[in-house]
């Protein structure tokens, strides 16, 4: 596991270029965010292996002799089917594979059909590092392949990252076999800019929160709530800096925003923006697909959006930020929680009491305070509501691939008589 991490780091430039060419993540983001995070994930879970252990438990049966040894074993759940999306073709397979291997499971990885090459290169790295043959299998293919994994009786667990509707279908497919399922699904993550926060810093955080990887991030902070006292100054700076973002080929080190991966999303995003305008919102910058080979969408800011608009409710998976003013903490909490999703959220404030109150009351699996998009192999990640069930990363992510067996041993010289 440690060797896997080292090999990923040694090959960072090659892996980053492959990611940029395959799915369009800007080269710098691929090299300095996705690749090192993948390496750190294998190293972290490798370090957790010695911490997998059961417990010795007290046991007292009323009316029975006292000598019993009771202990638990933590054992691998079995063959795991791992289904990953295209937006992080190295990192998300690494999250799942590293945890499953640390638990002692064998895995079959089905990468997204849009980005299988990076997953196949990861499999080669695993071989180079000494992972035995047959422990990790990469099985590229379409949705039929994923459905076959979900139904197969020899697969004990499914771990899926992707959209909510597919997650629901996986639950239905896994139900007859009562397979264990963990789902990291969609998001419509909010960020709130409170009245005491610096506008320049808030703009920088929000730019990264929504436009990183062209907004093709499940926890992208696509709903931005700004206190009414800062609303206009924030909008002025946010729009100006959005205009300055450079859109282009992912392999160009100078660009900020790469392409959109799926062609059908361009028409969908255009329709959502036009619907917002008709409902009374303002498009302050962007709002159109861009010409040329490939699929490009302008970084877009929609102001004065309200809760009912599609731009505030639907996961667009593209570079579109929806901004809305708020007056009170109660008001903004109501707005933030008025979503079917609950993956992540961010609170930008220097008021410690406010930050802790809001972190407690926001319905999300991860809450950032004074930052966005910060994840670590050590910190469990996963959502609530329509954003999924179960966790990736951290000790909780490892436990998703383990099952607990209880062993009870009668040590009494004269065992209890039942009849």
228 in catalytic set: no
184 in catalytic set: yes
CB of 149 closer than 8 Å to CB of 155: yes
Q: What is the C-alpha to C-alpha distance for residues 280 and 262, in angstroms, rounded to an integer? A: 28
User: What residues are paired with 123 via a beta bridge?
Assistant: none
Q: What is the C-alpha to C-alpha distance for residues 399 and 184, in angstroms, rounded to an integer? A: 15
Catalytic residue (choose from 184, 298, 329, 392): 184
With CA atoms as reference, report the closest residue to 223 among 342, 327, 305.
305
Catalytic residue (choose from 80, 105, 206, 218): 218
* Dihedral, CA of residue 244, residue 248, residue 251 and residue 254, to nearest 10: -20
Supply the residues annotated as catalytic. 184, 218
């Amino acid at each position: 596991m440690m060797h896997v991490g080292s090999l990923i780091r040694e090959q960072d430039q090659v892996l980053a270029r492959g990611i940029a060419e395959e799915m369009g993540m800007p080269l710098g983001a691929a090299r300095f965010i996705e690749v090192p995070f993948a390496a750190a994930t294998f190293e972290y879970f490798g370090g957790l292996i010695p911490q997998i252990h059961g417990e010795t438990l007290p046991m007292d049966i009323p009316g029975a002799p006292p000598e019993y040894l009771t202990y638990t074993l933590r054992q691998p759940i079995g063959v795991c089917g791992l289904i990953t999306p295209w937006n992080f073709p190295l990192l998300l397979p690494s999250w799942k594979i590293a945890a499953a291997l640390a638990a002692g499971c064998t895995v079959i990885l089905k990468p997204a059909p849009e980005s299988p090459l990076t997953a196949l290169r990861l499999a080669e790295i695993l071989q180079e590092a000494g992972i035995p043959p047959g422990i990790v299998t990469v099985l590229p293919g379409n949705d039929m392949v994923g459905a076959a994994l979900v139904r197969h009786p020899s697969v004990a667990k499914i771990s899926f990252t992707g959209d909510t509707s597919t997650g629901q279908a996986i639950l239905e497919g896994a139900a007859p076999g009562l397979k264990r399922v963990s789902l990291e699904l969609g998001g419509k993550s909010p960020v709130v800019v409170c009245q005491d926060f610096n506008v320049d810093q808030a703009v920088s955080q929000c730019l990264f929160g929504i436009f990183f990887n062209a907004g093709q991030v499940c926890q992208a902070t696509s709903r931005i709530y700004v206190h009414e006292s800062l609303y206009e100054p924030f909008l002025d700076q946010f729009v100006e800096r959005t205009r300055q973002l450079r859109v282009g080929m992912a392999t160009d080190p100078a660009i900020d925003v790469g392409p959109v991966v799926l062609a059908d999303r361009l028409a969908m995003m255009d329709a959502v923006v036009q619907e917002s305008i008709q409902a009374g919102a303002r498009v302050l910058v962007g709002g159109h697909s861009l010409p040329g080979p490939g699929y490009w969408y302008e970084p877009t800011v929609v102001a004065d959006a309200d809760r009912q608009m599609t731009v505030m409710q639907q996961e667009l998976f593209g570079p579109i930020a929806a901004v809305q003013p708020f007056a009170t903490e109660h008001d903004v909490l109501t707005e933030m929680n008025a979503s079917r999703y609950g993956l992540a959220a961010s609170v930008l404030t220097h008021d410690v009491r406010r930050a802790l109150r809001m972190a407690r009351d926001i319905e999300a699996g991860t809450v950032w305070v004074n930052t966005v998009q910060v994840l670590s192999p050590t910190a469990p990640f996963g959502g609530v509501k329509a954003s999924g069930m179960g966790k990736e990363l951290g000790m909780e992510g490892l436990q998703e691939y383990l099952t607990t067996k209880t062993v009870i041993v009668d040590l009494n010289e004269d065992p209890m008589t039942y009849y």
